[in-house]
Structure formats: C-alpha cells, structure tokens
Structure 1
C-alpha cells in the first residue's frame, strides 16, 4: 500500500472519529484557535486558497501538508473539500510520517 493510500485510509478514519474540521472557514477557525494539529491542503487547490491557508498556518505555526489532489482528499473523507484540519495529535503525527519528503 502506498503512502497516499495509507493517508487516505487514516483521513477516513479520522473523519469517522470526528477528529477533522473540513472546509476553508472551519479550518481557518481551527488554526486561529490553535486547535488544529495539522492542515492538509490539496495540491490543486486555488492559488487564493493556497496563499490564505499557508499564511494562516505560518502565522500560527501549524504544520501544513500538501500530499494529494482534491479528488483524493474528497474520496478519503467523503465530502468534496480542498482543505482539512486534523484536530487530533495522534492522527496528525501518523499523517505527517506518511507525507512524502520534499
């Protein structure tokens, strides 16, 4: 199983466990409230969304991962989304380990 497939499985599990905030507004609020442990942004998200999320994550010192497309992310969580915030430290740590090194 590839790292991307493992990430999709973990994201699905986190979604079912209620440990994700999905969508732009909820993700930005979770980052600002310092509740987000990791933010996952789709590789093909719009440039405006990408800049907004990157700036917010940098300001609040929240790790940002860009490992998959909107389609992959949407399939993993069961909703069409470009960005999600992982609220659980355990899930965030596991997902960060699976992120491809740059």
Structure 2
C-alpha cells in the first residue's frame, strides 16, 4: 500500500512538471508517435475504451496498467480523467518499479 501512495505522489509531480498526456485522442496520438512510456487506465473505466488502449499499447510496446481508480487518478493529478499517459522516461520507469512491487503492470 505504501508503494501506491508513492506512485500517486509521483503522478502528481509528473502532472505539475507537465509530463502527462490526457484525453483519448491526445493519448492515442502520443502512443503512435512514441512519446509516452506508460499508460494508466482507470479500473472503473469503460471496457471498449480499455480494449482499444490495451490493443494499442501492446501494438506499440508501451506499458499499460489499470492499477488505479478514476478517483485515485483525480486525487493525484487534480484532473477527473480515466486515461492518462506519462511522457517522461524517468517518471515512467520509477512508476513501473512501484507497480511491479504491487504486481499491477501488464
């Protein structure tokens, strides 16, 4: 559980640093351009959107996780979103470490 708190704090820091991409169209474009390293999709998000992004991230070899809820993403970033992507390799690498310790990354 402590790793989840660290992850949420790091997500907020990435937001303040301007290293997050939000919105379906923007995230899709960033995945296609190879500009994102990790995609978060809310556990309580829509299944058709989840499938679309699962397929897209697998196709472009981008890490994808459903480790957080929409409320957790909103609390950490200050944005009510069910989909966000991390556009900084350093932030993404550290977040993946926390996720692997929680075994929540695909």
Instruction: Bin the TM-score by the shorter chain.
Output: over 0.9
Please report how far the alpha carbon of residue 35 of structure 1 lies from its aligned counterpart in structure 2 after TM superposition. 0.6
- What CA distance in whole angstroms lies between the structure 2 residues aligned with 1:18 and 1:5? 20
- What CA distance in whole angstroms lies between the structure 2 residues aligned with 1:45 and 1:96? 21
Residue pairs, 1:22-61, within 5 angstroms = 22-61=22-61
Correspondence for 1:68: 68
Please report how far the alpha carbon of residue 44 of structure 1 lies from its aligned counterpart in structure 2 after TM superposition. 1.1
Q: In structure 2, the residue corresponding to 1:14 is in which secondary structure?
A: helix
CA RMSD of aligned residues (A): 1.1
Give structure 1 regions of 4+ aligned residues with deviation exceeding 4 angstroms: none
- What CA distance in whole angstroms lies between the structure 2 residues aligned with 1:95 and 1:26? 21
Please, what TM-score do these two structures have when normalized by structure 2? 0.91
Residue pairs, 1:91-102, within 5 angstroms = 91-99=91-99, 100-101=102-103
For structure 1, which runs of at least 5 residues remain unmatched after alignment? Answer: none
- What is the aligned residue count? 102
